[in-house]
Every structure is written in structure tokens, then in C-alpha cells.
Amino acid sequence: MHKLEHLDRRDIQGRTKIGKIWLGPSGNKLTEACMTVNFRSCGQTRMLPTENLRTIRHGVWQAAGLHFLTLSKKGSILVIRQFPTANPVPQHIAVIMDGNRRWAQQRALPVAMGHASGARRVRELVKACAERGVKYLSLFAFSTENWKRPEEEVTGLMGLLSLYLQKEVQDMSKQGVRLRVIGDTSGFSPRIQALIHDAQANTAHNTAITLSIAVNYGGRWDMLQAFKGWQAANPGEVAEALSEAALSPYLSTAYAPEPELLIRTGGEARVSNFMLWQLAYTEFYFTDLLWPDFGKTDLDEAISSYAQRDRRFGGGAYDKPAKAGDAVKAVTPRRV
């Protein structure tokens, strides 16, 4: 097969240089490739063999188990944007959508207009996540604490939820979106409960992306109801028999992997009782942007930030063994 050879030594994020790239052009597929990658941070050079080649999809190229986010594919040249982590595009993104009220106040609009604008932003984000290969998107829409807000605002939010469940389901099915609603839905009116049931049933067959809407949800509530569920399924068992693995199937998000990335808009840096169990090893991304202003470019920045993280899950893969006499470095904690 005809090969084209290209040499690209541009620096990427100050950490890595890409050496030789051979690509066999075949439509949108890379049918043959070999790369020399110089890992400047650890002084290693590694050859990427051809046998594990994958196709370019949603802007991600994968070879030999390593991933690269790409800006574009020009002929048979890959323009590489970000050097890799084990998986540069998180499979599950959770979002705390904060700032709707402030967005409305800044424009001298009713609070309800801010929430409506935020709801419209959801459609764009779902589509953008699906295009980038994200398989699960979880949105914190209404917490158990939000009932304390003014009655007029709560009534407006319930009306917006009802409208969303009625009008968006058909479009979701066209886009392959599966809808799941998590939280204590018994707190809603029978009409909203019926709409939730129908929306979930009508989208249950979709596989492009799973959209989870957290309403009347709290992380503490989730853990408590999971324990009660385990207890009901295991009557007579003592608490010592309960383990993390045994409890996980009873969480409201048991159908999804734990989020790799949490995005919070609005400038706050806290999790606000959202997915307390599930966020144990999640990477956090905080932005001052208000939710109605958060777009596709901002999503890409969050994913790019995630791709630079070193996710060791406490394993310390690159930590050197401590030597006798080594000084212990003080670490200043960052409040999150």
C-alpha cells in the first residue's frame, strides 16, 4: 500500500513532541500508521505499532492504546491538539448548572427567563457531548435544598420541567438520547411523575448518549436510599456484610460509570451535595461562566483540561520510593 511520510516536531503543551507519522489514506480511516513519540517528561521514546489502529471518530485518534485529540485531519496529516492520557474524552461528564438567576438579574430579566435560557443550553450541550464521544451526561437540575427557594420560582421550575419532558422527548429520540431521571420523584405531582415515566420509557432504546437529569436529588439522599435498598434486599444481614461493591448497585446511577469529569459553572467551587459517592475520583473543573453562557467551546476547554490530568486513582504510578532522610514537603490544601 502507498505510504506518505510526514515529519512534525511542533511542541505540544510544553511536554511532548511528535516525531514521524506515516498515514495510509483510506477515506476517514487510518489503515496503516507508525509514530515515534518522545516523552520529554520521563525521557522515553516509544514506537506505536500498527496492529491496534482505530478510526478517526469524534475528533479522537487512538493507536496502541494511546489517545490523541485532533484539531483536524488535512490530507494524511494529523494536526494534534493535546497529548494523551489514558482516555482524553471522559465517558461520563457531570455538570452543576449554576448561574441562571444571576444571568437573568444581569439583564434585568425575570428569574424564570434565566432558567428558560439555561434549559435551552442543555440541548446544545447534549448534542456537543454526543459528537465528542461522551456516553453519559448527568445534569444537576433541582436539588433537595432547592425547595427552600421562593414559591414562585419553584412553581416556575416545575412548569419548566414539565414542558421539557413533553417537548424534548421526540427530539431526544431522533438524536439517540436515552433519558434517565434520578432523585426522589415521589415529591413531584402525579402529572410530572407520569411525564417522567413516559419520557424514560420512550427513550429507553436509544444508545447514542444517556442524559441523566437530577431533580429533587441530593448526594446524601442517594447514599441513604441505597443503604435502605440493600437492607431490604438482604434482610437479616449485619452492617459488617455491607461493602462498597454491594452498595453500588442500589445507587440511583447504578446504570452508569462514575463521572470522570465534573463541570461547575457560576464561579462557585463546591459540589453542593451532588453525587457525593460517585465523585470520589472525579476531576473537577470550575468556571466563572454562568450556565446560559456555557457553550461548545467552553466544553472543549473543560475536556482539554481533563486530558491534562494525571489520573492515578491513588496509585502513584510515577512516584519514586522515598529515601531515608528525604525531607517531607508541605502541601497547601486547596478548598473545593
Same domain as 199, residue 223 = yes
With respect to residue 332, please indicate whether it lies within any of the assigned structural domains: no
Same domain as 297, residue 168 = yes
Residues 6+ apart with CB under 8 A from 241: 234
Residues 6+ apart with CB under 8 A from 150: none
Q: What is the DSSP string of 86-119?
A: S-SS-SEEEEE---HHHHHHHTT--HHHHHHHHH
Residue 314: what pLDDT?
A: 65
Tell me the residue range of the domain where 44 lies.
4-82
Residue 87: what pLDDT?
A: 56
Same domain as 14, residue 121 = no
Q: What is the DSSP string of 226-248?
A: HHHHHHHHSTT--GGG--HHHHG
Residue pointed to by grid coordinates 427552600 = 148
Catalytic site includes residue 293: no
Same domain as 136, residue 284 = yes
Spatial contact of 218 and 273, defined as CB atoms under 8 Å apart: yes
For residue 152, the surrounding DSSP H or E stretch is helix 151-167
With respect to residue 328, please indicate whether it lies within any of the assigned structural domains: no
Residue 303: what pLDDT?
A: 95
Same domain as 148, residue 117 = yes
What's the number of domains the chain is made of?
2
Residues lower than pLDDT 70 in the chain: 1-87, 312-336
With respect to residue 199, please indicate whether it lies within any of the assigned structural domains: yes
Residues 6+ apart with CB under 8 A from 23: 3, 4, 6, 30, 32, 33, 76, 77, 78
With respect to residue 272, please indicate whether it lies within any of the assigned structural domains: yes
With respect to residue 185, please indicate whether it lies within any of the assigned structural domains: yes
CATH number at residue 269: 3.40.1180.10
Same domain as 136, residue 38 = no
Same domain as 295, residue 159 = yes
Beta-strand (E) ranges in 223-299? 261-264, 283-286
Same domain as 161, residue 107 = yes
With respect to residue 329, please indicate whether it lies within any of the assigned structural domains: no
Helix, strand or coil, per DSSP, at residue 336: coil
Residue 270: what pLDDT?
A: 95
Same domain as 70, residue 152 = no
Catalytic residue, from 98, 100, 216, 222: name it.
Answer: 98
Q: Report the predicted TM-score, pTM, of the whole model to 2 decimal places.
A: 0.69
Same domain as 103, residue 65 = no
With respect to residue 163, please indicate whether it lies within any of the assigned structural domains: yes
Catalytic site includes residue 98: yes
Same domain as 10, residue 101 = no
With respect to residue 229, please indicate whether it lies within any of the assigned structural domains: yes
Spatial contact of 278 and 258, defined as CB atoms under 8 Å apart: yes
Residue pointed to by grid coordinates 413516559 = 198
Same domain as 213, residue 187 = yes
Pairing of strands 209-217, 136-143: parallel
Catalytic residue, from 38, 146, 202, 206: name it.
Answer: 146
- Cell (9 digits) for 238: 449485619
